[in-house]
Amino acid sequence: MSLVKLGRARLSLVLPHHREQLRAARNPTLYDLFESYALATQTVDNLLREHPRREELINEYQALCLDLQSEVVSLLDRIELRSH
């Protein structure tokens, strides 16, 4: 699965109110965010499997994931406003 598809799928799970917008999105900037989100969430997954855990790094990547989610929602809202 491509990083764009993976990021879009993972965002659809954590942003259920935006699923339709995420599915319909055709925007290069969003594609970049989808890829970044996929990489960040994969990193979190890998860090969570480590023993001992590097909690500070986990927290940083989880914060990055939340920031990326916010960016995606903001961009989706701007795209939605332009289409009306």
Q: What is the pLDDT along the chain (84 residues), one digit of tens a residue?
A: 899 999 999 999 999 999 999 999 999 999 999 999 999 999 999 999 999 999 999 999 999 999 999 999 999 999 888 876
| pLDDT value at residue 84 | 67
Q: What is the pLDDT of residue 18?
A: 96
CA distances, 22 to each of 43, 48, 50, 55 (Å): 22, 27, 31, 31
Contacts of residues 13-22 at CB distance under 8 Å and 24 or more positions apart, as own/partner, are: 14/69, 15/69, 15/72, 15/73, 18/72, 18/73, 18/76, 21/76, 21/79, 21/80, 22/72, 22/76
pLDDT at 82: 81
